[in-house]
Amino acid sequence: MKLGTTDIEVSPIALGTWAMGGGDSWGESDPVLAVKTVHRALELGINFIDTAPAYGNGLSEQLLGDALAGKRHQAVLATKCGLVWGNDDEGSVHKSRDGVTIRRNLGKQSIIKQVEESLGRLKTDYIDLLLTHWQSIPPFHTPIEETIEAFELLKQQGKIRSYGACNVSLEELKEYQKFGTPSLVQERFSMLWRDKADLASYCAENRITFQAYSPLERGVLTGKAALSQNVVGTAKASVAWYKMENRPKVLTLLTSLETMADTYNTRVGNLVIAWTRQATGTMNVLCGARKPNQIEENSKAQDLVITAKDWAIIDSLARTLL
């Protein structure tokens, strides 16, 4: 599929590398497995890879830089800007974790500095897609026009090829469009999380790629086994469906999805990814993985097409939990 209105071609499923950064969010990282996972994704035709400086405080980008040595031309590489954690970095407080305070800063000069640091960690001289990670907030608020100025300058310099936004409201996206041409919007979206469904529809109408993150609700929708395991890391712990009082509802849904998956000769996780991919005309599905077998499993959803009737049935089943 095309990335927005650019001529960049990306796989409909992307590899997410948040978990590779480990830390408080995901538990211990395994660099060797992380590199093998990236290599396996490329072998399976998944060329779209997403990361961010804040994932493991630079570790995810460093691992990706190692993994893409000699293979950079095979990947469409997306990273982000706007979250900083240095002792001298200014910005509005976002959160504290892993012993540092994360701050939001989307100022022009800060973005230029952040991109230089990302290029160093990624061991590359260009980024295919640069995204604002979280939007600017007081007291250190930056007008979107200034952020776009930085993006356009970086494009002119050949350091980025395209840009977009994560965790953005419809009003903010329209402001991005007022001053530039965003290619992609990345938001949390799944059959059990539809807060940005209207934004996804808007993106489809305006030829902006909408990339859904956490489509499997961080493991919940991969199948019943996930709900029998211990929850490790704050990323999974923050998902309400892991709470004991919600698990019976999810298990009922998973039972129905298992039956549907059997008719397609696939697994529940792949059925869910395919359902998500077909939610709108410009939907791209971001699937996190840090082990080769995880991306191998997710890749099977690339060619899975659900009939309109079955898509609607799954939609109705999931809506009973919303």
Give the Cα-Cα-Cα angle 270, 25, 162 (nearest 5 degrees): 65
Candidates 317, 296, 190; CA nearest to 254 is: 317
Residue of 55, 163, 176, 242 with catalytic role: 55
CA 258 to chain centre: 26
Q: Report which residue type is found at 147.
A: T
Residue bearing tokens 């469904």: 197
Q: List C-alpha distances in Å: 243 to 215, 230, 231, 236.
A: 18, 11, 10, 10
β-pair partners for 165: 132, 185
55 flagged as catalytic = yes
* Measured distance CA(100)–CA(110) in Å, rounded: 18
Strand 83-84: give its sheet, edge to edge.
Answer: 83-84, 100-104, 92-97
Candidates 193, 196, 82, 189; CA nearest to 135 is: 82
φ and ψ at residue 164, rounded to 5 degrees: -170, -160
* Measured distance CA(93)–CA(138) in Å, rounded: 9
Kindly list the catalytic residues: 55
